Amino acid sequence: MKPIKACIFDLDGVIVDTAKYHFLAWQRLAQELGITFTEHDNERLKGVSRVESLKIILEIGNKTIAEAEFESAMARKNGWFLDYIHQMTPEEVLPGVQKFLDELKSQNIKIALASSSKNAETILQQIGMLAYFEAIIDGNQVIETKPNPEIFLKAARAIDEKPENCIVFEDAIAGVEAAINGGFRVVGIGLPEVLGEADWVVRGFEGFGLANLQSILQ
């Protein structure tokens, strides 16, 4: 069994859930544009870029807007999203995460973050978790998006570890694929029927510790 020298975490859906704030910001924009946008519609936006997300919303409302208005609309949405995340608190950390990170720290296992979010550092600051991470690679530092492994490879390099000695924790199909493509072992956080390509899948970190991780690695 290869040793666990480092753990690399995605942010949204793994450590905290900011998806609800994206939904609220998109819904507010849709209302401005006279479009009804529901949580069911929002499923189509998961893992999709800001540009494509707005195109989907316009398609739902059967509307078109000029290019200048399109850019302005995306900027407004992002501004509202930033307002929401600046109100986040440590209570929003997902169950079991802090205890698991404390256990990794106590065993001198390196911890890194690999998140496509361009606001990752702000979010970690808000939820009081910035100090846990020895390296943070976010959307500002990568060119290729998941399932390209660039973000995880950069995170591994930043903490001076080889991919085979790192465990990646991911909640999205593209993220799981990115980790596999980079030569990492990967634990999916969510449902086995969705994240079946991961080496192992767990529902979340509640009741999950280093002993659980080591046993599934065996």
Helix segments in 86-132, DSSP class H:
97-106, 120-126
Among candidate residues 10, 41, 138, 171, the one labeled active-site is 10
Q: State the CB neighbour count (10 A cutoff) for residue 109.
A: 18
| Whether 33 contacts 65, CB under 8 Å | yes
Among candidate residues 12, 41, 138, 171, the one labeled active-site is 12
Closest C-alpha to 112, from 55, 152, 145: 152
Domains detected in the chain: 6-16+92-217 (3.40.50.1000), 19-85 (1.10.150.240)
* pLDDT (tens place) for every residue of the chain, 218 residues total: 678 999 999 999 999 999 899 999 999 999 999 999 999 998 888 767 788 899 999 999 999 999 999 999 999 999 999 999 999 999 999 999 999 999 999 999 999 999 988 899 999 999 999 999 999 999 899 998 889 999 999 999 999 999 999 999 999 899 999 999 999 999 999 999 989 999 999 999 999 999 999 888 77
| Whether 100 contacts 56, CB under 8 Å | no
Residue 162 makes CB contacts below 8 A (sequence gap 6+) with: 156
Q: Residue 146 is encoded by which pair of tokens?
A: 């998941």
Active site residue 12: yes
